[in-house]
Chains A and B, each alone.
Chain A
Amino acid sequence: MIRLNRQLIAQIDWFLPALTFALCAFGLATVYSSTYEPAHGVDPLVVRQLTWFGVGIAGMVAALTIDYRTLERFAYVAYGLAALVLILVLVVGVVGGGARRWLRIGALTVQPSEPMKIVLIIVLARCLSRVRSTHGGLDLTNLAIPLALTAVPAAAILLQPDLGTVGILAVVFTSMAFAAGARLTPFVTVFAAALASGPLLWTYLKPYQQQRIVTFFNPERDPLGAGYHIIQSRIAVGSGQFWGRGFLQGTQNQLDFLPEQHTDFIFSVFAEEWGFVGATLLLLLYLALLLRGFVIARRARDTFGSLLCLGILAMIFWQVALNVGMTTGLLPVVGIPLPFFSYGGSSLASLLVGIGLLMNVHMRRFTFSPGAF
């Protein structure tokens, strides 16, 4: 099962990790810049991010070594554990920035909603790959279980509250259901149902949680918050112009005009420093990574593998699109990190595990499970 023979190693795709590491390197440099203060040395955040990168590499290797079909077998066990941990967060989690999102394990602070994304993708891939579809594609009854599987962690994360992550879970689910062959009617129905259940859910929230959600959707209620940030972020991106202001030279970043410089608004820092040239190059790196991923999904040896890849790709794509949209002022401010780039160890490590899974599917595209003959 775990044997990595020479034939398998020969099948490793080096294109994917090369792109990933390039992204991570740019990301780390930008975290350094966004936490840079002339009077102090290297910010401990940079060191921590580097440490998490190491953890992520280990996770990536582990995700590559285990045959992904083994993951399929244990998908529900992993899902159950991850869901329990999410509930644990609500009880004993660490509060930061007004939300309870983290667990402290020894010296580490972990954000369990990040690995949950990967676990959910695995479970959805398993579930969707086994649905017996009718001729016209999947309908609402086929999607009921996958939807419920998504709703449980989404509800727990909503209570933290972390609307950005809930949004990502929703679009990942939608994307995977679409890829698995869902008909368009169920989507419309689900969307209508979600809209209808909103008010009901609302009454269950505590007043302060309602307050947070209202502020989320209506940034003007927080005059020093989102509205100001949108403007400053746009100025930052634009002032990079064609060639950029240069590393550590972005005034919007260094003078603290930008909010959340090292997390959600890190793209603005990068765009200010590296200009249109750098930002486009960065987008090309992401695009290349995603296109390579689609090739892998297309060549996967089974539907589960294919859907697994597509789920991971959906997660990466939507996070990039929503984050860039937010920082360039196209979308409202919702906290979504830029993959491989934003400060945040749990996110980085989970994404690297995701890349490991993509490589895994690619590497084993010709192999057959012992049961196949």
Chain B
Amino acid sequence: MGTLGISRRGSPHELSPLLARRIAVATAVVVVGFLFMAARLWYLQVAQGEALRSLSEHNRIRLRRVPAQRGIIYDRNGVVLAENRPSFDVLLVPEDAGDVGGVLARLGRFLGDGLASGELSQQQRGRAPYQGMVVREDIAWSGVVGIETHQLELPGVTLEVTPRRLYPFGTLAAHLLGYVGEVTPRDLENRDDLRMGDLIGKAGVERRLDHELRGVPGREQIEVDAVGRRVRVLDEEPDLPGYNLVLTIERDVQAAAEEALADNRGAIVALDPNSGEVLALASRPSFDPNVFATRITAEKWRDLVGGPSRPLTNRATQGQYPPGSTFKIVIGTAALEERVVGEPICCGGGLFFGRRFYRCWRKGGHGCLHFHMGLVQSCDVFFYEAGSRLGVDTIAAYARRYGLGRPTGLDIEPEEAGLIPDSEWKQRRFGERWYAGETLSVAIGQGYVLTTPLQMASVMATVANGGTRYRPFVVKRVEGPGGSITEFAPEVAGKLDVRPATLSSLRAALVDVVEDEHGTGRRAQIPGVEVAGKTGTAQAAGAGVAQGGEHGAPERLRDHAWFVAYAPAAAATIAVAVLVENAGHHGGTVAAPMARLVIERHLARGLVDDTAQQTAYRTD
């Protein structure tokens, strides 16, 4: 064994005799094992082959997967927002039908339309024998009756009942509820619990709580007759129905919000300021989620996703708009807390800053105003001055304390963050320092500032409850089978942390925005109820000052209208944000009446649950 590396071929080292012997035994065991297996195969496939083949061809026992009943979704008062209905699909097994053309022709009579065998050819290809083909999905009740009563004329035809999702109110809360659809190959990645053809939530609550809603499919062992029709159920393992959900939504308030928006593009969000519960979340234009429950044509899909109106977009959470004058709430908080607006500020219809003239929305000017009237009349000059005294970084700090500039953490997706600029951001984004003139734009909620309607509703809720920022949520309760209940508790996302005097001055001014004769939000007045609010008119992106953004401008350049509010002012039970895209009018004109409608509907109904009690021991 003197050679290096590789030795002479043919004589490797000596294996121990015992090991060599045992390898021989093992080899023998393996060979015998394989002979045994081959013998078993011979017995099954050759000796008994004929018998078993005929058993397989007349296999009367079939195992079916029974889709689970998807959980029902209720509003906070138990009104059903999403449920299931049976849908009847027509299946044809050509082997059982014999004369396929004839059967299809007869079938056409009951379905009320012509059926060509050609349209089945695609399914026909690659189909295993005795596998049913879907002739029609979701047929009308008259068709079901016709087929059931004429079974003898329709050999090979069976009806299959599958549950389909039903949204009884159609477009109501569509963005929030979402919709269901068949799984795609991508959904199936790394999922053992899903099969092709299963339905899963694709958006909104349906998607976010899909796992809870879906349940576990059952299995059914059925005996079928010679033409493939079910004779009886031999055994079954019932499906586990999905969990039911109770949302925080109040159906009536939601409906009011959608009626208020009518044909406008925009969004309305209503929150319970004492918990963060979402009372309504509306986005227009909307869509009917029932459309997705049946097979959807490519054309219909394009209509839904395409076009400038983008109905699938949830404008309440995904729409990012300059907040306009509603941002003065943030500036006001900062200015009061930092004590930069002690003396009156005088408005002559605008302000020279650097080499530019910054206009106030009222050409004639407001005269000299204290903070209170400055906010009530939404004087731009007052806030230019306040903003420039604060500086952009202080403004940004307060905006973040209101939760702006990042997602609110709503329990359904998707949600946008908005944008709160500061000098560091400008440096990072554009590699440029912050110019003082830009602070003036920020002070009136223009420039780079972007917020979502949901964020602005949360700002109002925070002001309303005395400075606590709750994480907004839409799922109040998950009810499992057997009465197990998971309740979602309010979650504090942050505190505003300002002096009580700051908040009380701010709140007094917000009340007078609506109640004072000079207020910009008078159209939100409700007799007998004190409403606090703030109007806003925001320039659409791309619209220059020259166009003015008034009604005459091209539609996409017209101003957005905002109105944010809470009521009753002293102990609020609702905070609302209304945004109307390209309204071309002031927020006080277009958006304030919408907010009023929503608040009225809410107060008329009165909250049924415990929210009212919580209001009683608010600290504010």
Contacts and interface: CB of A to CB of B under 8 A. Distances in A.
Contact of B128 (A248, A259, A310, A366): A248
Given A228-B63, A251-B59, A257-B63, A276 B126 contact: no
Contacts, number: 207
Given A224-B221, A251-B56, A104 B190 contact: yes
Contacts of B109: none
Contact of A241 (B45, B123, B185): B45
A209 interface: no
A222 B189 CA distance: 29
A294 B30 CA distance: 10
B196 A224 contact: no
A40 to B, nearest CB: 5
Interface in A286-332: 286-287, 290-291, 294, 297-303, 306-307, 310, 313-314, 317, 320-321, 324-325, 328-330
Contact of A238 (B31, B45, B61): B45
A248 B22 contact: no
Given A40-B196, A298-B23, A328-B41, A366 B7 contact: yes
Interface string B17-28: 011101100110
A314 B23 CA distance: 11
A271 B237 contact: no
Given A255-B128, A368-B7, A241 B49 contact: yes
Given A299-B12, A325-B37, A44 B237 contact: no
Nearest to A180: B19
Given A38-B127, A43-B196, A257-B59, A241 B53 contact: yes
Contact of A242 (B46, B125, B128): B46
Contact of A7 (B5, B46, B189, B219): B5
Given A37-B196, A228-B63, A252 B56 contact: yes
B45 A242 contact: yes
A199 interface: no
A303 B221 contact: no
B41 A366 contact: no
Contacts of A328: 37, 40-41, 44
Contacts of B131: 38, 254-255
Nearest to A324: B37
Given A249-B128, A366-B12, A279 B219 contact: no
Contacts of A297: 23
B118 interface: no
A298 B20 contact: yes
B186 to A, nearest CB: 8
Contacts of A157: none
A104 B52 CA distance: 42
B63 A181 contact: no
Given A238-B44, A280-B41, A287-B31, A178 B22 contact: yes
Interface in A102-134: 104, 107-109, 133
B262 interface: no
Contacts of A255: 59, 62, 128, 130-131
A181 B128 contact: no
B interface bracket (residues with beta carbon within 8 Å of A): 35 or more
A224 B57 contact: no
Contacts of B33: 317, 321
Interface string A17-53: 0000000000000000000111111011100100000
Contacts of A320: 37
A283 B59 contact: no
Contacts of B49: 238-242, 276
Interface residues of A, number: 85
A237 B45 contact: yes
A239 B56 contact: yes
B19 A238 contact: no
Contacts of A108: 190
Contacts of A236: 56
B424 interface: no
A319 to B, nearest CB: 12
Nearest to A233: B44
Contacts of A325: 37, 40
Given A237-B45, A257-B62, A328-B40, A251 B129 contact: yes
A334 to B, nearest CB: 17
Contacts of A41: 185
Nearest to A329: B44
B616 interface: no
Interface in B118-170: 123, 125-131
B44 A181 contact: no
A238 B51 contact: yes
B56 A235 contact: yes
A9 to B, nearest CB: 12
Contacts of B9: 366
B340 interface: no
B501 interface: no
Contacts of A371: none
B189 A271 contact: no
Interface in A195-219: none
Contacts of A306: 15, 19, 23
A366 B59 contact: no
A229 to B, nearest CB: 9
Contacts of B27: 291, 294
B96 to A, nearest CB: 13
B45 A279 contact: yes
Nearest to B26: A179
A69 interface: no
B50 A181 contact: no
A179 B50 contact: no
Contacts of B221: 223-224, 228
A310 B23 contact: yes
A373 B125 contact: no
Contact of A256 (B18, B41, B63): B63
Contacts of A299: 12
A80 interface: no
Contacts of A241: 45-46, 49-50, 53
A87 B22 CA distance: 35
B117 to A, nearest CB: 16
Contacts of B128: 38, 248-251, 253-255
Interface string A257-288: 10100000000000110011001100100110
A36 B1 CA distance: 58
26 contacts: A37-B196, A38-B123, A44-B188, A180-B19, A181-B22, A224-B63, A237-B52, A238-B48, A238-B52, A239-B56, A251-B56, A254-B128, A254-B131, A255-B59, A271-B45, A275-B45, A283-B34, A287-B31, A299-B12, A301-B13, A313-B30, A320-B37, A325-B40, A328-B37, A373-B1, A373-B4
**8 closest cross-chain pairs (CB), A and B:** A238-B52, A254-B128, A241-B49, A239-B56, A96-B192, A276-B45, A239-B53, A238-B44
Given A283-B41, A303-B15, A307-B19, 18 more contacts: A37-B197, A38-B128, A48-B189, A228-B61, A238-B45, A252-B59, A256-B62, A257-B59, A280-B38, A287-B30, A294-B30, A300-B15, A301-B13, A317-B33, A328-B44, A367-B5, A368-B4, A373-B2
Interface of B: 1-2, 4-7, 9, 12-13, 15-16, 18-20, 22-23, 26-27, 30-31, 33-34, 37-38, 40-42, 44-46, 48-53, 55-57, 59, 61-63, 65, 123, 125-131, 185-186, 188-190, 192-193, 196-197, 219, 221, 235-237
Interface of A: 7, 36-41, 43-45, 48, 96-97, 104, 107-109, 133, 137, 175, 178-181, 223-224, 228, 232, 234-242, 248-257, 259, 271-272, 275-276, 279-280, 283, 286-287, 290-291, 294, 297-303, 306-307, 310, 313-314, 317, 320-321, 324-325, 328-330, 365-368, 373
